[in-house]
Structure 1
Amino acid sequence: MRIRVLAVLGSLLLVIVVLVSSVLMQSVSSDATADVQVNRLSSLNRFVQVASHASGNDDLEMLQLEMDTYSQLYNEGLLIVVDDRQLISGDIRADDAAVKEIVGAAALNLDRTEIPEISPLTETVALISRPFGNSAQVLGSVTMQVNLEPARARVLQASAFILVLTLSIGFIFLLLADRLATWVLRPLHRLDDSVQLLTQMHQPIPLVEQGPPELRALSRSVSSMAQTMATSRQQQQELIAETSHQLRNPVAALRLRVDLLRMRLTDEASLAGLHAVENELARLEMLLDGVLRLASAEHRLTEQKSDKTDTEVAHPEKPTSAFQILAEEIERQSAMAQKTGNTLTFEADSTSASEDVVWCHEFDLQQMVSELLENALKYAPGTEIKLAVHTSPTTNDIVICDQGPGLGKAELERAGERFWRAESVRGTPGTGLGLAIVDRLARANSGQLIVGSNGDAGLKVIIRLPRAQTPKGTDHE
């Protein structure tokens, strides 16, 4: 915006400079022309007076001497026609076409005494003439070749000075306009930064009140709005977490009462109804647990964003071995895999243990892998589940593939939304929060969750995390 404002102001200043310079240079040119006109007409009239009174050879010789003196002094030629004789001094030539024309006009009793306006680009000489005689006839004429070079040089010098002066003044005003534009626009840039930070990181930044009073008032309003929105978001997160936590107590008490009630009931109908209540309680407990973990993941994401700028990436204190986390999770989930009939396979070569190191909090990575493995065991029972780590120069991909029902193209686009579940798995217990939790945790660690199709059947889920470079030949404990 500053460049556009300066471009507009610069264009206006340039127009003003051109107009002012033109007016001043025109004034200088007119003054120089008038000065030369007055001086040369005075000299021309004096020679007309002398020539009109010259009657003999002596007078003509004196006139010739005075003409030569004038030409040497002013470097201007003279041509005087008197008694059918031509007296010449200086560089003027009688056979020149322009000289013939002006002498002929003088013979017809026509004055030519106007000097063209002098400018830096004007010609260096001009011709003026005046006839003399009596009321009955023209007896002669005086033609003067005016040297305009000195006047043109003065006009050129004055014009250059005017141009430099007006450009300097225009540049000074442009600098002042730049300072003024910076003073006005700096608060707008800070406002834009504050809104961007609030949008991306949900964290307001304090605004220094600068600029005109209107922008200061706007800064105060934006600061107040940003703080209100950040406080509201924080309160919402705390409310969700506290509500989920507080609901655990009545749910636990309700679970205890249901267990006591089961001990007292004996008929099948009552026990069947009680079993349905237990299922709903289990679903509620699962939902509360998922909401708590999602709130924690989103809080981690907000904290991570607020701890880094646009040009830097915040990392944990030490890197984490994806190989080790996957091995631990496979061991931990092996019992559940046997129960569901799944086979867990881990694809890794001999160098994985030294190349799979990622910048990620160990607990976060464990949570993400655990969520994805539990989803695969739940939605793809009795199939093979493959885990792998693919290494690239800058990232490591943790890949979990199953052979379950998978998702359609439209469903893949919605994977990761909170509380969303595919139609094909609505009958399976779940909350629709698993992928949302993994997505938030991955982004909180400067990573990415990618959900795609595993060929003809099943899902291929990738956790892409920044790779941590380790010295060659070292292993992780």
Structure 2
Amino acid sequence: MGVLGSSLLVIVVLVSTVLMQGVSRDVAAEILSNRLSALNRFVQLASHVASDDDLEMLQIEMDTYSGLYDEGLLIIADGHQLVSGNISAQDPDVADTLRAAALNLERTDIPAVNPFLDSGALIARPFGNTGQVLGSVTMKVNLEPARMKVLQASSMVILATLTVGAVFLLLANRLATWVLRPLHRLDDSVQLLTQTQRPIPLVEQGPPELRALSRSVSSMAHTMATSLQQQQELIAETSHQLRNPVAALRLRVDLLKMRLPDRASAEGLRSVENELARVEMLLDGVLRLASAEHRLTEQNSEEGVADSSAGKESINVLQVLAEEFERQSATAQAAGNTLILEGAAESTQDVSVWCNLFDLQQMVAELLENAIKYAPATQITLSVKSSPTMVEVMICDQGPGMNKTEIGRAGERFWRAESVRGTAGTGLGLAIVDRLARANSGQLLVTANPQAGLASIIRLPRAPSLTEKSDD
């Protein structure tokens, strides 16, 4: 609309200028025609002056004309100079006109009237016989009535062109709206599809090309959403279905192990058990990741339709940390770790967040298990940092940590740092925590611990605590 409005403004200015110039020329031509008639009349009177009485009568005619039209007359006849009205022979323009007339050069043109400039115009015509110039008539034309006429006409022209321009601008606005509304809806639909992974039906509107585009986008969105859903279902169902044959294999290995008489065969089966344990761990991780991504998709879908907090509740963060601290204390002690829970006896124990309880327990457990696994025999600190709107749950270890490149890839599926390839794991833990955090309108941050090791931070929206609710 900015481009259309600027273009229409330029057109209005050009059309108005052309029309105003035409009006000025027409008015100038009209007044010139009238004044040339008066000029010819005075030329005829001046050419017949033969006595003082004729000069006196000519002066009377000149005064009458000047009083009537407020225009100046300067006539040179029979060696005399007669003046009436607001004209002077000492005026440079008048003097130039008189010299030209003395050379038998007439001046009978009036320029286009400028409605914004108060000025007059000079016209002159010499007279005499074939051999010499006997005199001249110079008239200073009053252009004020013409200027007012042009100004009035120009105002009408400007008003008319502005009205027409406004009408065209309104039509252009309606046309642009008709064309662009489907594009805006397409953009909203694509953004909503990106967030929710669910197709939104599009109403076919606008030109035929945009209707065809709407149909194509709707078909593409439906196909993509169906494909994504099928992929998620395939991963979840495949992982679930593989658990049964893996469990059957473990049962057969256990039975075979009981029947083998020699120790060497039992040792050989132990490697098979380790591989089965690794497969079970991988299947469990894939199932948890599929569940976390499903939760994230559901949360995005709810936000795309309406701001929903279904499944979320106000949870005391330190209570969850204390429960997980107690549950994994034995594992940490066996690995040589020292667990520290900060703020348990302080006022921060009343800090609450909006989150699904099971999701928060799973996120804290996953990060604490990672810290125990990859930073054995070190100190692990669990703490909470709060602000008016957000709460940060921090689990910091003093292990080997990761460099910047590794930290940037920490949330990728199945990715593991080179330094921990020999440690049992699937590379899905941080990916699961990242999806669950986002599913609860939060965020996972992995940074280097200022002292040593790694700091994993879960940022979640803060909920009113019990103390704040009682104050309200």
User: TM class by shorter-chain length?
Assistant: over 0.9
Q: Bigger shift: 370-379 or 321-330? A: 370-379
The aligned amino acid for 1:434 is G
The aligned amino acid for 1:154 is K
Partner of 1:350: 346
Q: Secondary structure at the match of 2:303?
A: coil
Partner of 2:101: 106
Structure 1 residues 335 and 73 mapped into 2: Cα distance closer, same or farther (>3 Å)? Answer: same
1:363 Cα shift?
0.4
Q: 2:198 matched to 1:226?
A: no
1:383 Cα shift?
3.4
The aligned amino acid for 2:398 is Q
Check conservation: 1:315, 1:445, Cα contact below 8 A.
Answer: no
Deviations 1:449-471 (A, max 9, x none): 12223345432221121111225
Check conservation: 1:447, 1:466, Cα contact below 8 A.
Answer: yes
Q: 2:63 matched to 1:77?
A: no
Q: In the aligned structure 2, how far is the partner of 1:364 from the partner of 1:384?
A: 25
Check conservation: 2:312, 2:355, Cα contact below 8 A.
Answer: no
The aligned amino acid for 1:358 is V
TM-score normalised according to structure 2 size: 0.92
TM-score normalised according to structure 1 size: 0.91
Structure 1 residues 48 and 236 mapped into 2: Cα distance closer, same or farther (>3 Å)? Answer: same
The aligned amino acid for 2:36 is L
1:308 Cα shift?
1.2
Structure 1 residues 395 and 122 mapped into 2: Cα distance closer, same or farther (>3 Å)? Answer: closer
Structure 1 residues 332 and 474 mapped into 2: Cα distance closer, same or farther (>3 Å)? Answer: farther
1:370 Cα shift?
1.2
Structure 1 residues 104 and 331 mapped into 2: Cα distance closer, same or farther (>3 Å)? Answer: closer
Structure 1 residues 410 and 135 mapped into 2: Cα distance closer, same or farther (>3 Å)? Answer: closer
Q: 2:417 matched to 1:422?
A: yes
Q: CA RMSD in A?
A: 2.3
Q: In the aligned structure 1, how far is the partner of 2:416 from the partner of 2:91?
A: 105
Partner of 1:445: 440
Structure 1 residues 133 and 466 mapped into 2: Cα distance closer, same or farther (>3 Å)? Answer: same
Partner of 1:25: 20
1:125 Cα shift?
2.0
Q: Secondary structure at the match of 1:359?
A: strand
Structure 1 residues 406 and 124 mapped into 2: Cα distance closer, same or farther (>3 Å)? Answer: closer
Partner of 2:356: 361
Q: Bigger shift: 338-347 or 237-246? A: 338-347
Q: In the aligned structure 2, how far is the partner of 1:20 from the partner of 1:470?
A: 70
Partner of 2:293: 298
Structure 1 residues 49 and 236 mapped into 2: Cα distance closer, same or farther (>3 Å)? Answer: same
Q: Bigger shift: 146-155 or 200-209? A: 200-209
Structure 1 residues 85 and 201 mapped into 2: Cα distance closer, same or farther (>3 Å)? Answer: same
Structure 1 gaps of 5+ residues are 1-5
Check conservation: 2:204, 2:214, Cα contact below 8 A.
Answer: yes
Match of 2:402 among 391, 407, 431: 407
Structure 1 residues 104 and 257 mapped into 2: Cα distance closer, same or farther (>3 Å)? Answer: closer
Q: In the aligned structure 1, how far is the partner of 2:231 from the partner of 2:106?
A: 99
Q: Secondary structure at the match of 2:112?
A: coil
Q: In the aligned structure 2, how far is the partner of 1:364 from the partner of 1:203?
A: 23
- The equivalences for 1:89-238 within 5 A come to 89-122=84-117, 124-238=119-233
Q: In the aligned structure 2, how far is the partner of 1:134 from the partner of 1:245?
A: 124
1:310 Cα shift?
11
Aligned length: 469
- The equivalences for 1:33-52 within 5 A come to 33-52=28-47
Check conservation: 1:419, 1:433, Cα contact below 8 A.
Answer: yes
Check conservation: 1:113, 1:128, Cα contact below 8 A.
Answer: yes
Q: In the aligned structure 1, how far is the partner of 2:418 from the partner of 2:132?
A: 122
1:122 Cα shift?
4.9
The aligned amino acid for 1:403 is Q
Structure 1 residues 419 and 107 mapped into 2: Cα distance closer, same or farther (>3 Å)? Answer: closer
The aligned amino acid for 1:37 is L
Partner of 1:3: none
Q: Secondary structure at the match of 1:140?
A: strand
Partner of 2:389: 394
Check conservation: 1:313, 1:446, Cα contact below 8 A.
Answer: no
The aligned amino acid for 2:111 is P
Match of 2:380 among 363, 382, 385: 385
Q: In the aligned structure 2, how far is the partner of 1:113 from the partner of 1:418?
A: 94
Check conservation: 2:313, 2:357, Cα contact below 8 A.
Answer: no
1:23 Cα shift?
1.9
Q: In the aligned structure 1, how far is the partner of 2:452 from the partner of 2:118?
A: 92
Q: Bigger shift: 271-280 or 50-59? A: 50-59
Structure 1 residues 363 and 72 mapped into 2: Cα distance closer, same or farther (>3 Å)? Answer: same
1:312 Cα shift?
5.6
Q: Secondary structure at the match of 1:109?
A: coil
Check conservation: 1:451, 1:460, Cα contact below 8 A.
Answer: yes
Check conservation: 2:312, 2:357, Cα contact below 8 A.
Answer: no
Check conservation: 1:76, 1:145, Cα contact below 8 A.
Answer: yes
Q: In the aligned structure 2, how far is the partner of 1:39 from the partner of 1:241?
A: 99
Q: Secondary structure at the match of 2:104?
A: coil
Percent of aligned positions with the same letter in both sequences?
69
The aligned amino acid for 2:349 is A
Q: Secondary structure at the match of 1:421?
A: coil
Partner of 2:82: 87
